[in-house]
Amino acid sequence: LSFLLGKIFIKEAKTISNRRSLASVFPLLTVTTTIVIAVVKSSLALSLGLVGALSIVRFRTPIKEPEELTYLFLAIAIGLACGANQYSIAIFGFLLSFIGIIFQNKYSKKNSYKNSLRLLVKGISNKDLNTLVKIISKYSKRVDLNNIIIAEDKSNISITCSILVNSFIEIDGLNNEISEVFPKATFSIIDSDNFY
């Protein structure tokens, strides 16, 4: 079930992170959860020990999108159900979630993220930030700001944003215009393996 969940995540998720690497973790997460629940369900002492152990463990995986967290919880829920020998609940919950995901994606009015990518621009000054956003907006349907790093003297800014491009052909025009307006700036596309 978690392997199928990973395939659904790769195909249907709107997140712009590296979907393949996160999806590859789902089966391991589900099996681990199943093992833990199978071990502790027979002993009250083990279950209390698990609560104590989990209270000191912190989840350090960077979650970029809420959608990623939802899929992770679904993988954990499948593992919990299987560990408690509730296979019918695991299958029913998975199928219900799958139908919900398909229904939401089919009838959602949100933009498709199939032409989305994340870009990084380094080497612009503080006063040029608005100009840069206007240039990016010119070539994009949507611009989401992810990160801005400003040097102490405000002379050097790095900006990371997620964009939904009009078409991939326009990336060249975006690169050329940024290079013309900001000759000292560098332009990089990151997470570019998300073209599905």
Lookup: tokens for 141 = 């349907």
Q: What is the model's pLDDT at position 27?
A: 92
Alpha helices of the chain — where are they, by DSSP H?
2-12, 19-23, 26-40, 44-56, 66-83, 87-107, 129-138, 170-181
Contacts of 152 (CB under 8 A, 6+ apart): none
Contacts of 131 (CB under 8 A, 6+ apart): 181
Crossing angle of helices 87-107 and 2-12, rounded to 10°:
10
Q: What is the model's pLDDT at position 193?
A: 43
Q: What is the model's pLDDT at position 59?
A: 58
Q: Give the integer Cα–Cα distance in Å for 185 and 156.
A: 9
Q: What is the model's pLDDT at position 32?
A: 87
What is the residue-level pLDDT of the chain in tens, covering all 196 positions?
999 998 988 888 877 667 888 888 899 989 988 888 888 887 767 776 766 666 555 555 555 677 888 888 899 899 889 988 899 999 999 999 999 888 887 776 454 445 567 778 888 877 787 888 888 888 888 787 777 887 776 667 788 887 877 777 777 788 788 888 888 887 777 654 443 3
**pTM summary value:** 0.54
Q: What is the model's pLDDT at position 58?
A: 58
